[in-house]
Amino acid sequence: MKILKTYARLFVTDLEQALPVYEKLVGTAADLRFRFEQADIAAVGDFLVIAGPHDAVSAYRDTVGPVIVDDLDAARQFVTDIGGEITSGPIVSATGRVVYARHPDGTNVEYVQWAADIRSHVLD
């Protein structure tokens, strides 16, 4: 498994208001914009800007990531090999496949394997 990219999550009230600030900070437009469950999400630089009702996004506040990997199955195996557990998934999202895992130290991590078109759009 190879880590391709990681993001710092930023929780905001209004994506339309917040996104221009981070686009100016990073110096580029958002790479991705999509909806996941009840959240509106934009990826800009190494930030993942998340907006949605408090109850809908609160579960993600204690999760590190997303950690973008080249092979989600290998990430799942890594988690079990180190004594962690897969807590959810794999599920299919607008950007690819996702699992949520808890490492033995208690850290909750979101692992994502991007769909080929998303991967080439963001990384190439």
CATH code, domain carrying 87: 3.10.180.10
What pLDDT does residue 16 have?
94
pLDDT at 59: 76
Count of the separate structural domains present in the chain: 1
pLDDT per position as a tens digit, 4-53: 999 999 999 899 999 999 999 999 999 989 888 888 999 999 999 999 88
* Amino acid (1-letter code) at residue 53: P
pLDDT digits (tens, 9 = 90+) for 76-104: 999 999 999 999 989 998 889 999 999 99
- Mean local confidence (pLDDT), 60-81: 94
| Structural domain boundaries enclosing 19 | 3-123
Question: In terms of Cα–Cα distance, which of 109, 116, 122, 115 is closest to 75?
Answer: 109
Token pair belonging to 47: 């930030």
CA distances from 55 to 19, 41, 47 (A): 21, 16, 21
| Helix, strand, or coil (residue 29) | coil
**What's the pLDDT score for residue 36?**
80
> Residue 34's pLDDT is what?
87
